[in-house]
Amino acid sequence: MKFFLKYFLPIFLPWAIAFSIFFTYFYFSETDKVNTNRLEKERLNVRMGESAIYLEFQTVMSDLLILAKNKAFHHDQKLLPLESFTNLQNDVQLFSQIKGIYDQARFLNTEGVEIVRVNFKQDKATIAPASSLQNKGNRYYFQETITIDQGMVYISPLDLNIEHDRIEEPYKPMIRFGTPVFNNQGEKIGILILNYMAERLLGNFSSAVANIRDHASLVNAEGYWLKHPDPEREWGFMLDHKHNFSNVHPLEWKRIMATERGQFTSDNGLFTFATIHPLQSSQHYNSGHTEKTQATMQKDYQWKVISHVTKDDINAGNKSILLSLVQIATLVLPLLILFSWRLSQAKIKEREAVEILRHQATFDTLTGLPNRQLFHDRLSRIILDSKRLDTRFTLFFIDLDKFKIVNDSLGHTAGDQLLKEVAERIHELVRESDTVARMGGDEFTVILNTMTDRKDIIRMAQLIIDKLSQPFILNGQEASIGASIGIALFPDDGIEQTILINNADAAMYRAKEAGRNQFCFSA
């Protein structure tokens, strides 16, 4: 006891107090930093989502106004001459085929009769026959567009496309853009209508908010979700379900609707929002309404980009910091019992042990390749990057042929040596940016980052097969094996990790069934 009081406490207590103060300060500073970064991250991503939508609106309106200046309208007549009609048909068809984002592109005369209609289905733009052209004079978009002045643009609400009085399935979000068309005499001769497939706009929004995709949404003025992490909550105003932001968070909805943009914390978490006015998509375009009418529509026709971080997520972040500090403390406090020079040595050994454990947990001890756990982690990361950057990559699933024969005939030691040499041969063929991993047993995988050209993929697969088909010298004896390779392409063969791996695995089994020592594409 005397030893404890005289020697241990004078050394231990100052260090314990110093570390307690340090941990307390670090905890509060880190939580403050994390919360500050979270606020800025949410604001930045909401702005990015807002900008993506405005940019897409500007693109569509630019297309529409350029089409309105088509040479087919450069004449002095109220009706299209035959030659202008033919040219307009061809130009609108070519325009639709190149753009690929308009379900329909139409020119209607001043009575609302379709003169030209181009449909875009299954990646092909086709001119509608005269017998299928209809009178749309009683439709709201015609009546709105025919009344506006030259250079103005009408924008319809975003909703789901309806065919034959029923919502089209699969759902097809649609916005109609319209502008009047004039001849050389300044006479209004009709309108142009573009049926814009808004799935692209919603997709651009999702990409822009990819970092907060799990809690970012797009809401209309009535509180219905146009885009939500859970698709089941979307389009409530058309599908007659009760999923509505204003019902779920009524108090927060009032605050969000009261101002253009902002950020606040309530009992339900952190809310960051911005208002989008589709009719104000660009200073270069007019909505096509009088100042009074436009002001009324601006108030009603608005969307809200909303990010909602729940209290549980916020608390989980703070708890993770605290847990990390507790874990560190449990390692540090026992070390304070030792003398200062022992403490420094213990910390060094601890770091080394952690690195060894980390390496053992993520790398195959036999071949030195990334193991199954690290492979899944890297595959998950490249999938996220590819979705965000709209890039592609290739996955090989390799299974050795005749490995069991070698292992049984020459012994497990020879089998282990064979696996090491297989790993070295494969690794020599790929690039530094690629990943070669051992899944276990005689199964290997290769992630070929950004390699998407089919000829390059075939060449790489054949190189691996040829390389592994060359004899191995094991304990002075020659052994030969082969390799069956299944190939899956992202995103063609799957956009989720499990699906991509399963498709590559299935392709590998087809390669085996086809005679082994060959490769097979998933599709």
Is residue 268 within 8 A of residue 315, CB to CB? The reply is no
pLDDT category of residue 109 using cuts at 50, 70 and 90 = very high
Residue with tokens 């990409």: 207
Question: CA 301 to CA 415: how far, in whole Å?
Answer: 70
pLDDT given at position 162: 86
* Mean pLDDT computed over 483-494: 95
| 318 against 496, higher pLDDT | 496
The phi, psi pair for 518, rounded to 5°, reads -155, 175
Computed on alpha carbons and rounded to an integer, the radius of gyration of the chain in Å comes to 32
For 335-392, how does the pLDDT look when each residue is reduced to its tens digit (9 = 90+)? 666 654 454 444 446 666 777 788 778 899 899 999 999 999 999 999 999 999 999 9
pLDDT given at position 339: 52
- What percent of the chain clears pLDDT 70, i.e. is strictly above it? 90
**Positive/negative CA dihedral, 180, 185, 187, 190:** negative
- What percent of the chain clears pLDDT 90, i.e. is strictly above it? 72
Q: Please, how many CA atoms are within 13 Å of residue 355, restricted to the half-sphere of its CB? A: 6
Question: CA 523 to CA 14: how far, in whole Å?
Answer: 67
* Mean pLDDT computed over 504-520: 95
Instruction: Decide if pLDDT at 297 tops 60.
Output: no
pTM score: 0.57
Task: Report the DSSP beta bridge partners of residue 152.
Answer: 286
* Mean pLDDT computed over 267-278: 94
Instruction: Decide if pLDDT at 31 tops 90.
Output: no
Helix ranges, 68-218 (H): 82-99, 140-145, 199-208
Instruction: Decide if pLDDT at 18 tops 70.
Output: yes
Lowest mean pLDDT among 134-143, 310-319, 338-347, 386-395: 338-347
Q: Which three-class secondary structure string do you get for 258-307?
A: CCCEEEEEECCEEEEEEEECHHHCCCCCECCCCHHHHHHHHHHCCEEEEE
Residue 408, token pair as written in the block:
């049984």
Question: CA 371 to CA 359: how far, in whole Å?
Answer: 10
pLDDT given at position 289: 42
CA angle, 350 then 356 then 358, to 5° = 100
Return left, alpha or beta for 100; rule: phi > 0 is left, psi -120 to 50 is alpha, else beta: left
- The continuous run of DSSP H or E covering 49 comes out as helix 9-67
The domains located in the chain, with CATH, are: 60-200 (3.30.450.20), 372-521 (3.30.70.270)
Instruction: Decide if pLDDT at 295 tops 70.
Output: no
Instruction: Decide if pLDDT at 104 tops 60.
Output: yes
Question: CA 391 to CA 491: how far, in whole Å?
Answer: 9
pLDDT given at position 22: 79
* Mean pLDDT computed over 475-485: 93
Is residue 120 within 8 A of residue 142, CB to CB? The reply is no
Q: Are strands 162-163 and 166-167 parallel, antiparallel or unpaired?
A: antiparallel
